[in-house]
Amino acid sequence: MRVLITGATGLLGATLAPALELRGHVVVRHGRRAGDVRGDITVPDVVEQLVAGERPGAVINLAALTNVDQCESDPNAAFLQNTRIVENLANAIETRGNGCRLLQVSTDHVYDGVGPHGEEAVHLVNYYAFSKYAGERAAARISGTIVRTNFFGPSQASGQHSFSDWIVGALTRRETVRVFDDVFFSPLSMAALSGYIAHMMESGVPGTFNVGSRDGMSKAQFCFALAAALGLPTDTMHHALSTDRAHAARRPKDMRMNCDRFQERFGVQLPSLQQEIESMRSHYHAGA
Ligand SMILES: NC(=O)c1ccc[n+]([C@@H]2O[C@H](COP(=O)([O-])OP(=O)(O)OC[C@H]3O[C@@H](n4cnc5c(N)ncnc54)[C@H](OP(=O)(O)O)[C@@H]3O)[C@@H](O)[C@H]2O)c1
């Protein structure tokens, strides 16, 4: 299939694009400043021309403003990049798409309260979450596939670092890090997530799906488990609470997702987070 990835030059795009190519798809990488095709896709005409010119069988949208505090201090930027872009894509696909599918990558940040959360338990606590959820609604209007997720693993994108890159780098340099006992999540490795996104895109099943690891853990448990898997020293890593640190945006404390809908609909058994962490041994080559 010919697949247009918008926002392909970011963190997830750099792992997803080659994974799709390995499965035999022809990938067109779009970025604002780099990529096979370029342009600011908050502008409707740019998106119309992109969809009409590239004639993709599917668009996977990764373009976003992912900095949660920046979204809070500039809600209009959050709206433009997390909502307007998806509206533009949905409109262009509807009018010029010729049967093209839309897969919108969203976030576990749309949840709050005690997890694991089912897809209906949306609870929005900041502008990042609001703008991503509004983007989901735009994708749903044209029966898109919406993937709520979170991810980690070594970045293949220049200048972009994942959460696990940050921990591995800090521990390797023996810097002091504080890791939160009161924040829970259920991410996947970017490698595994890319395979699931490909599978969802190929099947073309519409709907909203949580796609994360089978269980989840606190961020502190995750960081200590990652250090153990990679044989990194942990004497500079300290337990802390998220309330010890001031952020511009309020953040959810428990983003763990119940992924039963995805597992049942796609016949997939998701890995546990511990299994995903252990897979990092071969990805990072640290302490191995
Ligand atoms: N990172 C995470 O930990 C995380 C967790 C959960 C969910 N997600 C979701 O996963 C998706 C991918 O995240 P990511 O971390 O790969 O994002 P990222 O690294 O921040 O990359 C975002 C991409 O979007 C492009 N972009 C932004 N605004 C644009 C515009 N107006 N016109 C054209 N391109 C634009 C950027 O291009 P430029 O670089 O040229 O601006 C970049 O290629 C997002 O939907 C995000 O919400 C991310």
Using only C-alpha atoms, the chain has a radius of gyration, in whole angstroms, of 18
Q: What is the dihedral of CA 216, 152, 201, 83, to 10 degrees?
A: 100
Q: Is the dihedral angle over the CA atoms 186, 187, 189, 192 positive or is it negative?
A: positive
**Average pLDDT over every residue of 29-51:** 96
The tens digit of pLDDT for each residue in 239-275 reads 999 988 777 789 999 999 999 999 999 999 999 999 9
The predicted structure's pLDDT at residue 277? 97
Alpha-carbon distance of 43 to 83, in angstroms, equals 12
Q: Which of 33, 38, 66, 111 to mutate to test the pocket of ligand 1 (most atoms within 8 A of CB)?
A: 66
Residue 284 annotated to the active site = no
DSSP bridge pairs for 188? 151
Query: Strand runs (DSSP E) across the chain, as ranges?
Result: 2-6, 26-31, 37-38, 58-61, 101-107, 145-149, 151-152, 177-180, 184-185, 188-189, 207-210, 217-218, 237-240
Calculate how far, in angstroms, residue 62's C-alpha sits from the geometric centre of ligand 1: 5
pLDDT tens readout for residues 41-60: 999 999 999 999 999 999 99
Q: What is the pLDDT of residue 211?
A: 98
pLDDT of 15: 97
Measured in Å, residue 96 CA sits from the centre of ligand 1 at 24
pLDDT of res. 286? 44
Output the CA 157–ligand 1 centroid distance in Å: 11
Report which ligand 1 atom has the smallest distance to the Cα of 34: 40
Q: Which of the following is catalytic: 128, 133, 196, 284?
A: 128
Res 121 pLDDT > 80: yes
pLDDT tens digits, one per residue of 74-88? 999 999 999 999 999
Residue whose pair of structure tokens reads 């897969």 in the numeric block? 103
Average pLDDT over residues 17-23: 98
* Residues lining ligand 1, Cβ inside 6 A: 7, 9-13, 31-33, 40-42, 62-64, 66, 81, 105, 107, 132, 149-151, 160
Q: Rounded distance, CA 203 to CA 1, Å?
A: 12
Determine the average pLDDT of the residues in 204-217: 97
Structure tokens at 76: 């209009």
Q: Tell which wins on pLDDT, 73 or 244.
A: 73
Contact yes or no for 19/191 (Cβ under 8 A)? yes
Atom 21 (ligand 1) nearest CA:
10
- Output the residue whose Cα is nearest ligand 1's atom 33: 32
The pLDDT of residue 38 is above 60: yes
**Tokens 């763990």 -> residue:** 256
Question: Given the DSSP bridges, would you call strands 184-185 and 217-218 parallel, antiparallel or unpaired?
Answer: antiparallel
pTM for this model (two decimals): 0.97
Residue 233, pLDDT > 90, answer yes
Atom of ligand 1 nearest to the CA of 108: 6
* Ligand 1 geometric centre to CA of 66 (Å): 6
Mapping DSSP to helix (H, G, I), strand (E, B) and coil, where does residue 43 land? coil
**Average model confidence (pLDDT) across the chain:** 96
Ligand 1 centroid–CA 67 distance in Å is 9
Give the ranges where 36-126 is alpha helix by DSSP (H). 44-54, 68-73, 75-79, 85-96
- Residue 192, H or E segment: helix 190-203
With the most atoms of ligand 1 within 8 angstroms of its CB, the residue from 5, 32, 164 to mutate is 32
Q: How far apart are CA 110 and CA 178, in angstroms?
A: 25
